[in-house]
């Protein structure tokens, strides 16, 4: 059985990879040679020129770094590596890597930026109030655990689409490392066991999670034979097998009578190439995630507002109390706009140009005051009422020696998603439905319109914070960056970029520096992280200003590659078990 690729946009011939052009040229030479003798030597297409000293990756685990190395050794480029890595992490990082989730891929290929949206979608039978009981109250946990939490998965279609459009290696080649890890096993580490144990408790009695994952214990060689079979079917029959073949039947069977995803939903699922969100900042072109992510807009807003506030920031020590206070005020405005204006662009016209324009952000920055009492002035979306116009993820960064790059963030949403495993398929399904507003404000409630952007509707994509980002300088890759962390994604990336560019830190120092998180709600709350807690005098100063300090268990796992001249410098977040690797 084989599934034809669907009719999403394809690269024009001019942008076909070198390998394909060589194949065509060689075939023509052989053909021509049999008729014309002696043939003048045909001009050979020059081999692609390496523009960097090496390829490099920043990966959330060592297995995916090994996969990247194999793909580069086989002659693959950044997209080949990215697709192979996604399938590998679906095996070795089952809490976040996935087949049953979705995500976003920002690509820079042959000198041009692209953005692939393979976010999950609400099933056709989904309704606005599907998580409410008869009295209009939210049914606890329903959007987080079990079958009804599951959105239509996009990952396999996303990888298929990326590989079909850009891939140089064969589809089977990029799936081979994942199949090997699923068949032969990988060694479970302490962190994965801990996340497993916590998830097993919350899924107990509600899903079939432990029937599959009870053996996920530190030190064990963990094998997943059913997952290996699923991957082999996808490798043999193409990405649409997941949506139209036996895997689709297994998903539909798993859902039948419990959840809303049907075979029809799967057949209809399409990944979407969108215009990446771009902005000029600090001499760079920022290429990042457009809606349905709020992350790109938020990142650009933060970067530009901070630049506008340069006089206020001048001389302030990184992460000093007045510094954190100014950033928190910027973040209030970013999250107010996020709540009010950003949703699925296929449902609403998101005012992207306005939200990221220099004039608007200068005006918003002007509202930020060093002596403002936190929470004293309510912060609302800054564009007025334009809207009626109607916590696990993983990130990796790749550059190849030809100057191409991929920044990819994908997710099951929570650790191990909904906890529902597809029987016979061996993979977990997401709980992305929880990224919708699951308890919409009642009609007529003042301010209710803000939530309408992101209520559950058939086929809609839930609002996301995932922000896979690439920075270009003179149209060459300068930084590839991203992280998991829900709404902490954009604030984490912003802080690391600030450390790099405003404080001139080396990549490893920029990652190791303290991070904090603040968003509009809960008001006046600064979240600190276990890796570098806010204590002592700094804590006292923030409290004296009126902030509440809250601990959080996770503040991102940033994977980034900076390119200095022709040298890629990968760096993995010391908060996780990631690996930066340069491959000559």
The residues annotated as belonging to the active site are 393
Quick check: bond before 465 cis, omega within 30?
no
Measured from the CB atom, is 116 or 176 closer to ligand DON? Answer: 116
Give which of 64, 439, 493, 569 is closest to 294, Cα–Cα. 493
Q: In the complex, what is the shortest distance from the CB of residue 527 to ligand DON, in angstroms, rounded to a whole number?
A: 13
Under rule CB under 6 A, residue 464 binds ligand DON: yes
In the complex, the smallest distance separating the C-beta of residue 572 from ligand DON, rounded to whole angstroms, is 16
Contact of 221 with 185, CB cutoff 8 Å: yes
- Give the chain's length: 584
Nearer to ligand DON, 289 or 352 (CB): 289
Binding-site residues for L-glutamate: 119, 411-413, 435, 464-465, 486
Figure out which of the listed residues 8, 198, 252, 391 binds ligand DON, where binding follows CB under 6 A. Answer: 391
Among 64, 207, 465, 499, which residue sits at the site for ligand DON (rule: CB under 6 A)?
465
Which residues sit in the known binding site? 119, 411-413, 435, 464-465, 486
Beta bridge partners of 560: 481, 571
Binding span for ligand DON by CB under 6 A among 55-63, 80-88, 155-163, 463-471: 463-471
Q: In 356-442, which ranges are continuous DSSP H helix?
A: 358-366
Nearest-approach distance from CB 486 to ligand DON, in angstroms: 4
Residue with tokens 């990405």: 239
413 binds ligand DON per the rule CB under 6 A: yes
The secondary structure of 262-317 as a DSSP string is -HHHHHH---EEEPPEEEEETTEEEEE--TTBSHHHHHHHHHHHHHHTHHHHTTPP
Query: Under the criterion CB under 6 A, does residue 435 sit at the interface with ligand DON?
Result: yes
State the nearest-atom distance from the C-beta of 203 to ligand DON, in Å.
17
Return the residue of 91, 361, 466, 490 that touches ligand DON, per CB under 6 A.
466
**Cα dihedral sign for 245, 247, 250, 251?**
negative
Candidate residues 392, 407, 408, 495; the one interacting with ligand DON per rule CB under 6 A: 392
Contact 477, 469 (CB under 8 A): no
Q: To the nearest whole angstrom, how small is the minimum distance from the Cβ of residue 558 to ligand DON? A: 12
Closest CB to ligand DON among 34 and 553? 553
Pick the stretch among 127-135, 200-208, 464-472, 519-527 that binds ligand DON (CB under 6 A): 464-472
Draw the binding track, 529-558, toward ligand DON (x: CB under 6 A; -: no contact).
-------------------------x----
Ranges within 8-27 binding ligand DON (CB under 6 A):
none
CB 266 within 8 A of CB 246: no
288, with CB counted inside 10 A (0-12, 13-18, 19+), is: buried
What the block records as the tokens of 511 is 């990652």
Determine the interface stretch with ligand DON among 29-37, 52-60, 391-399, 500-508 (rule: CB under 6 A). Answer: 391-399
Q: Give the 3-state secondary structure of residue 225.
A: helix
Burial of 522 (0-12, 13-18, 19+ CB in 10 A): exposed
Residue pair 527/552 in contact (Cβ under 8 Å)? The answer is: yes
| Cβ nearer to ligand DON, comparing 329 with 464 | 464
Q: DSSP 3-state helix, strand, coil percentages of the chain (rounded to 5)? A: 35, 15, 45
Of residues 202-221, those binding ligand DON (CB under 6 A)? none
Question: Under a CB-based contact definition with an 8 Å cutoff, are residues 10 and 161 in contact?
Answer: no
Query: Which residues in the 139-198 window bind ligand DON by CB under 6 A?
Result: none
Report the distance separating Cα 167 and Cα 141, nearest Å: 40
Tell me, residue by residue from 485 to 524, as one string, x for binding to ligand DON by CB under 6 A and - for no binding: xx--x-----------------------------------
Scanning 344-352, 479-487, 536-544, 568-576 for contacts with ligand DON by CB under 6 A, the matching segment is 479-487
C-alpha span between 153 and 162 (Å, rounded)? 16
DSSP, res 527: E
Q: How far apart are CA 428 and CA 417, in angstroms?
A: 7
Contact between 411 and ligand DON by CB under 6 A: the answer reads yes
Q: Which is nearer to ligand DON, 408 or 464 (by Cβ)?
A: 464
Stretch that binds ligand DON, among 26-34, 162-170, 239-247, 461-469 (CB under 6 A): 461-469
Residue (113 or 486) nearer to ligand DON, CB: 486
CB 168 within 8 A of CB 468: no
CA distance 6 to 534: 51
Binding site for ligand DON (CB under 6 A): 391-393, 411, 413, 435, 464-466, 484-486, 489, 554
């Amino acid at each position: 059985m084989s599934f034809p690729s669907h009719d999403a946009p394809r690269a024009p011939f001019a942008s076909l990879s070198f390998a394909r052009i060589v194949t065509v040229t060689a075939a023509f030479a052989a053909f021509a040679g049999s008729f014309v003798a002696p043939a003048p030597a045909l001009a050979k297409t020059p081999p692609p020129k390496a523009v960097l000293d090496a390829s490099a990756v920043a990966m959330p685990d060592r297995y995916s770094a090994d996969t990247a190395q194999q793909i580069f050794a086989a002659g693959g480029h950044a997209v080949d590596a990215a697709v192979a890595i996604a399938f590998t992490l679906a095996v070795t990082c089952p809490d976040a890597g996935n087949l049953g989730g979705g995500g976003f891929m920002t690509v820079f290929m042959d000198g041009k930026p692209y953005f692939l949206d393979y976010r999950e979608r609400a099933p056709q039978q989904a309704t606005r109030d599907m998580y409410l009981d008869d009295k209009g109250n939210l049914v606890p946990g329903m959007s987080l655990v079990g079958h009804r939490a599951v959105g239509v998965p996009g990952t396999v279609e996303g990888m298929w689409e990326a590989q079909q459009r850009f891939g140089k290696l064969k589809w089977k080649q990029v799936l081979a490392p994942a199949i090997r890890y699923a068949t032969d096993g990988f060694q479970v580490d302490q962190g994965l066991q801990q996340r497993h144990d916590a998830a097993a408790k919350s899924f107990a009695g509600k899903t079939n999670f432990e029937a599959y994952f009870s053996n996920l214990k530190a030190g064990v060689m963990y094998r997943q034979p059913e997952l290996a079979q699923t991957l082999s079917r996808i490798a043999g029959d193409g990405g649409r097998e997941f949506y139209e073949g036996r895997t689709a039947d297994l998903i539909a069977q798993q859902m039948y009578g419990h959840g809303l995803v049907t075979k029809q939903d799967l057949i209809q699922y399409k990944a979407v190439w969108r215009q990446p969100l771009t902005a000029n900042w600090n001499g760079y072109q920022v290429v990042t995630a457009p809606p349905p992510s709020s992350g790109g807009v938020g990142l650009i807003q933060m970067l530009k507002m901070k630049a506008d506030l340069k006089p206020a920031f001048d001389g302030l020590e990184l992460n000093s109390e007045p510094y954190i206070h100014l950033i928190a005020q910027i973040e209030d405005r970013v999250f107010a706009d996020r709540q009010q204006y950003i949703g699925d662009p296929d449902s609403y016209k998101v005012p992207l140009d306005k939200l990221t324009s220099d004039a608007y952000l200068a005006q918003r920055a002007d509202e930020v005051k060093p002596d403002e009492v936190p929470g004293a002035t309510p912060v609302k979306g800054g564009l007025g009422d334009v809207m009626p116009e109607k916590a696990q993820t993983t990130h990796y960064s790749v550059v190849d020696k030809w100057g191409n790059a991929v920044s990819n963030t994908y997710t099951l949403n929570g650790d191990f998603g909904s906890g529902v495993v597809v029987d016979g398929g061996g993979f977990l399904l997401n709980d992305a439905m929880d990224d919708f507003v699951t308890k919409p404000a009642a009609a007529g409630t003042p301010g209710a319109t803000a939530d309408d952007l992101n209520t559950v509707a058939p086929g809609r994509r839930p609002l996301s914070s995932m922000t896979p980002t690439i920075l270009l300088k003179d149209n060459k890759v300068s930084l590839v960056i991203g992280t998991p962390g829900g709404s902490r994604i954009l604030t984490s990336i912003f802080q690391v970029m600030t450390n790099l560019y405003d404080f001139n830190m080396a990549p490893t120092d920029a990652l190791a520096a303290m991070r904090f998180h603040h968003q509009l709600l809960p008001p006046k709350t600064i979240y600190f992280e276990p890796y570098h807690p806010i204590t002592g005098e700094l804590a006292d100063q923030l409290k004296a200003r009126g902030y509440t300090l809250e601990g959080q268990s996770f503040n991102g796992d940033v994977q980034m590659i900076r390119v200095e001249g022709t040298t890629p410098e990968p760096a993995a977040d010391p908060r996780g078990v990631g690996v930066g690797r340069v491959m000559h």
